[in-house]
Amino acid sequence: MKLKTRLWISFGCIILLPILLICASAKLLIQYQLSVIDRTYNVESSVEDIFPNTTKLFNRLMAQMQETIRRDIELNPDNFKEDTYLNQLGETLQTKGSYLIVRKGDEIIFDSGDLENIYQYLPEDAEDSQGYSNGTYLGGDRSKLVKGQNIEFSDGTKGTVFIVMEVDTWIPELKVMIAELVITVVAVLVVTAGVFIYWIYRSILKPMNVLKDAAKNIKEGNLDFKIEANEKDELGTVCVSFEEMRVRLKESAEEKVEFDKESKELISNISHDLKTPITAIKGYVEGIIDGVADTPEKMDRYIRTIYNKANDMDRLINELTFYSKIDTNRIPYTFSKINVKDYFTDCVEEVELDLESRNIEFGFYNYCDESIVIIADAEQLKRVINNIIGNSIKYFDKPKGKINIRIKDVGDFIQVEIEDNGKGIAQKDLPYIFDRFYRTDSSRNSSKGGSGIGLAIVKKIIEDHGGRIWATSKEGTGTIMYFVLRKYQEVVNE
């Protein structure tokens, strides 16, 4: 779920859910307190009666107490002169938020609430307080409801028993209900907000911790871990991007290690292979200087050997230069239409002269039609052929070498086969011969040097032409190199 969606859901729930929970809780609490009021005061009440406080409710509550006093007056009016009885009755009334005042004649003989400030407002006769059912309301800063009951004591003295209830306060049950409502509202708001904040926080915190640990690992150079992105939100996307970055960093680090290794190996190879012809050149030059080449034939042989060794050095330097272009993908290609028959005929003429000078038998067989054309870089394709043949010459182990080149038409492609009768390649080495610096012969003797990148260059050039190269070989018999190139076909618009 998207983080934005989570926020909107949380926002809506934080507003709506507390309202629903508060309404439901308030309804339950009010119903509960109404039942408590009904049990405590033995009166049926409703929400309108208790919230807000109304004189109607107090009047109903006092009616019950008034009825109790009326019965006590009928049974024994003199009880209302006894302190014990009056204190007990006063305490009972106070539990219901009311006070008791007893007046005998013109004298107040009992007051359970210290209400001297209203004595002067008490009616002279209970009938003046609108009787048993209604009572008198004292407004202003007094806010009291007074109900009176006339009484005649046994000595003939008349008096009045008053029940006074303060209507500017709430009954205990209502206070409890309000407190419970406030607590419930706060609890609902805190719990609801907490739950959804935790939901959002967890959805942010977990991927953030993952990213923090990943950043720490990367900072310490540790790239051998995996970033798990369980969520499909914005932070999950960041985790995926971070994982891709980690993978690329690891690949770059591995490539750098491999590149450093290859560079060191290349320097070692080139250094060794340059040292061999340089040593030979120095030896022959010293021979000329010392007069060892004292005949025209020796002098000619020495000079020709020096020339050949210089060519070997030039070839090695060219391979090194070309290798740097491979790594930066800056091989200079000039593609053009090439007639297969004409190109390979001219190419093998140069090869044949060189092979004859080395006493190597050479054969060329073209099975392609004269009209077949390919798109290729003539110079780079010649480099491919020369590198393959040069590699064959390097590993000849027979007195009479032989190399055959065959050009075949294979549907949409032409296939070039270069076969030799050298010592062959072991099956375990065959899959790796196109890898850089891979050598089937690790002895590195002077006669089989080389930079180790010749066939890697061949593979790169063929693949850049959209072709494919592979080899088959049998030890002791020889090797066949194959590569295919796509034919050029004119597109005819109808």
* 447 pLDDT more than 50: no
Helices (H) then strands (E): counts for the chain: 10, 12
Residue 124 backbone dihedrals phi, psi, to 5 degrees: -65, -30
Q: From residue 391, how far is each of 17, 124, 232, 421 by CA, in Å?
A: 81, 137, 55, 12
* 217 pLDDT more than 70: yes
pLDDT band at 469 (very low <50, low <70, confident <90, very high): very high
In this structure, the number of other CB atoms found within 10 A of the CB of residue 140 comes to 7
Q: Say what the pLDDT of residue 167 is.
A: 66
Q: Say what the pLDDT of residue 376 is.
A: 94
> Same domain, yes or no, for 345 and 284?
no
Identify the DSSP state of 358.
T
Beta 401-410 vs 360-366: how paired, if at all? Answer: parallel
| Residue appearing with tokens 């009484």 | 151
> Same domain, yes or no, for 466 and 366?
yes
In a domain, 59, yes or no: no
| Residue appearing with tokens 């000329």 | 288
In a domain, 145, yes or no: yes
Identify the DSSP state of 274.
H
> Same domain, yes or no, for 435 and 385?
yes
> Same domain, yes or no, for 147 and 189?
no
Question: Do the beta carbons of residue 449 and residue 439 sit within 8 Å?
Answer: no
How does DSSP assign 418-474, residue by residue?
A: EEE-SS---TTTGGGTTSTT--S-TT--GGG---S-HHHHHHHHHHHTT-EEEEEEE
> Same domain, yes or no, for 398 and 249?
no
Which of 201-215, 270-284, 411-425 is the least confident region? 201-215
Q: Say what the pLDDT of residue 185 is.
A: 82
> Same domain, yes or no, for 295 and 314?
yes
Mean per-residue pLDDT for 211-238?
A: 77
> Same domain, yes or no, for 323 and 350?
no
* Backbone angle region of 471, left / alpha / beta, with phi > 0 → left and psi within -120 to 50 → alpha: beta
Mean per-residue pLDDT for 319-332?
A: 70
* 444 pLDDT more than 50: no
Q: Say what the pLDDT of residue 274 is.
A: 76
> Same domain, yes or no, for 242 and 216?
no
Q: Residue 144 and residue 136: Cα distance in Å, rounded? A: 8
Question: Do the beta carbons of residue 430 and residue 471 sit within 8 Å?
Answer: yes
Which of 57-66, 205-214, 422-431 is the least confident region? 57-66
Characterize 373-412 residue by residue with b for buried, 16 or more Cβ atoms within 10 angstroms of its Cβ, and e for exposed. Answer: bbebbeebbbbbbbbbbebbbebbeeeebbbbbbbeeeee
Domain boundary among 220, 253, 282: 220
Per-residue pLDDT of 345-356, as tens digits, reads: 998 888 888 888
Q: From residue 249, how far is each of 85, 225, 235, 242, 329 by CA, in Å?
A: 95, 12, 20, 10, 20
Within 13 Å of residue 203, how many CA atoms lie on the same side as its CB? Answer: 20
Name the strand (E) or helix (H) holding 402. strand 401-410
* Number of residues in the chain: 494
The range of the structural domain enclosing residue 142 comes to: 75-169
**Mean pLDDT taken over the chain:** 80
Q: Residue 447 and residue 394: Cα distance in Å, rounded? A: 7
> Same domain, yes or no, for 125 and 88?
yes
Per-residue pLDDT of 124-156, as tens digits, reads: 877 655 444 566 777 666 577 788 888 888 888
* 446 pLDDT more than 60: no
* 456 pLDDT more than 70: yes
Q: What CATH number does the domain containing 312 carry? A: 1.10.287.130
Cβ neighbours for 464, distance < 8 A, ≥ 6 positions apart:
331, 333
Residue 397 backbone dihedrals phi, psi, to 5 degrees: -130, 15
In a domain, 63, yes or no: no
In a domain, 133, yes or no: yes
Q: Say what the pLDDT of residue 4 is.
A: 64
In a domain, 61, yes or no: no
For the chain, the domain total comes to: 4
Q: Is 43 helix (H, G, I), strand (E, B) or coil?
A: coil
> Same domain, yes or no, for 403 and 487?
yes
> Same domain, yes or no, for 161 and 191?
no
In a domain, 70, yes or no: no
> Same domain, yes or no, for 490 and 370?
yes
Question: Do the beta carbons of residue 371 and residue 341 sit within 8 Å?
Answer: no
Cβ neighbours for 422, distance < 8 A, ≥ 6 positions apart:
392, 395, 396, 397, 398, 401, 478, 479
Cβ neighbours for 285, distance < 8 A, ≥ 6 positions apart:
306
